[in-house]
Amino acid sequence: MLPMLIPILEALPLGRRGRFIEPFAGSLTVLLNVPLVPSVVCDKNAVLMNFYSALRSRGRAFVDSLEPLFAPSGNTREVFDHLRAEFNASTDPERRAQLFFYLNKHAFNGLYRENSKGIFNVPFGRFSFVSFARDELLHLAERLKSVTLAPAGDFEVLLDDAKAGDIVYCDPAYVPLSDTANFASYGADGFDFADQLRLAQAAVRAADRGATVVISNHDTELSRELYARAELHQFDIWRSISRAGATRGTAPELIATYSPKSGLAGVESFGSRMKASAASSKKPSKAKASP
Ligand SMILES: C[S@@+](CC[C@H](N)C(=O)[O-])C[C@H]1O[C@@H](n2cnc3c(N)ncnc32)[C@H](O)[C@@H]1O
């Protein structure tokens, strides 16, 4: 198990009644490490959700169909460019799911990025070797059988559906570690300040209905303000990939836990302060913590 998962798993009051909900599914690392309870996952990336859907419905046959794509002959720029073009032209959900997995593992930095026309445009990753994780895929296929895949979309839909006893784990794009000058209009993955604020507000609403919501993020002045109504737990994690301004090394991380009935007041007032501050400046201003 990844060491960074330990504090997150410790923060989840699992074992109670209720569902486990993950609105920012990504690679489902947390879901794969929680006990088998009824679970619901979602991500706004429709291509990723289509991959999980194919893996769940076709299981071993789908995994078998992926393996030939990982022959050493597939690890060249020519094959990559050809399959990337096929992926962008294809409208067949199963073929798109196969090619998505190939591209995800062979693309630069394992990135998934589309241009404004919805075309996947990440270049070849030039890895000397790309392994095929057959056993992990089969394990995920098995786990997905007990998971509800919500339609791809925004996190707020699942958070607003959380009920008393449910446990929601949120892993949004990070708030910036330092310079927040452009954050009001643009954040990592297009996840900007308004989205971070919406998340904190939706977490409080869910807690008011009796759910537990756990959010992880960088430990910054901004995140401490955003999660003012939550119980905060700080820990350090090792980052090997530069992400949202973070460089290699340890980075302070925060876990915010909204226990049932956390109250909304703090988040709302912080939101108005940020909106007022953004409106008073032509260029989005540096986020300021309130006294
Ligand atoms: C930091 S990753 C999640 C990582 C995940 N915990 C894992 O184990 O890999 C953030 C994910 O949130 C998704 N995302 C971004 N904006 C979103 C939104 N508004 N609603 C739902 N998902 C979103 C991205 O597509 C990405 O997969």
Mean pLDDT per 10-residue section of the chain, whose length is 291 residues: 79 83 95 92 96 98 98 97 98 98 95 90 95 96 96 98 96 82 55 95 96 95 95 82 56 92 53 48 32 27
- Is the CB of 24 within 6 Å of ligand 1? yes
Query: How far does residue 91's CA lie from ligand 1's centre (Å)?
Result: 24
**What pLDDT does residue 16 have?**
66
**What pLDDT does residue 273 have?**
46
Query: How far does residue 72's CA lie from ligand 1's centre (Å)?
Result: 30
Q: What is residue 254's DSSP assignment?
A: E
Mapping DSSP to helix (H, G, I), strand (E, B) and coil, where does residue 182 land? coil
Residue nearest to atom 25 of ligand 1 (CA): 45
Q: How far apart are CA 291 and CA 288, in angstroms?
A: 9
Smallest Cα–Cα separation from 145: which of 61, 64, 56, 62? 56
Other Cβ atoms within 10 Å of 28 Cβ, number: 18
Cα 52 to chain centroid distance, Å, stands at 14
Q: Which CATH superfamily is domain 47-142 in?
A: Adenine-specific Methyltransferase, Domain 2 (1.10.1020.10)
| CA distances, 247 to each of 5, 37, 140 (Å) | 20, 36, 30
- Is the CB of 29 within 6 Å of ligand 1? yes
Q: Which CATH superfamily is domain 5-44+153-279 in?
A: Vaccinia Virus protein VP39 (3.40.50.150)
- Is the CB of 26 within 6 Å of ligand 1? yes
Q: What is the pTM of this model?
A: 0.85
Give me the residue label for tokens 């949004």: 172
**What pLDDT does residue 248 have?**
61
Out of 24, 31, 186, give the residue to mutate to test ligand 1, the one with the largest number of ligand atoms within 8 Å of its CB.
Answer: 24
Q: Where in the chain is the domain with CATH 1.10.1020.10?
A: 47-142
- Is the CB of 156 within 6 Å of ligand 1? no
Q: How far apart are CA 282 and CA 291, in angstroms?
A: 24
Q: How far apart are CA 121 and CA 46, in angstroms?
A: 16
Query: How far does residue 149's CA lie from ligand 1's centre (Å)?
Result: 14
- Is the CB of 33 within 6 Å of ligand 1? no
Whether residue 127 contacts residue 104, with contact meaning beta carbons closer than 8 Å, is answered with no
User: Ligand 1 atom closest to Cα of 195?
Assistant: 19
Out of 22, 44, 169, 201, give the residue to mutate to test ligand 1, the one with the largest number of ligand atoms within 8 Å of its CB.
Answer: 44
User: Ligand 1 atom closest to Cα of 43?
Assistant: 22
| E strand segments, 118-228 | 147-149, 167-170, 212-218
Q: Where in the chain is the domain with CATH 3.40.50.150?
A: 5-44+153-279
**What pLDDT does residue 277 have?**
45
Query: How far does residue 78's CA lie from ligand 1's centre (Å)?
Result: 30
- Is the CB of 171 within 6 Å of ligand 1? yes
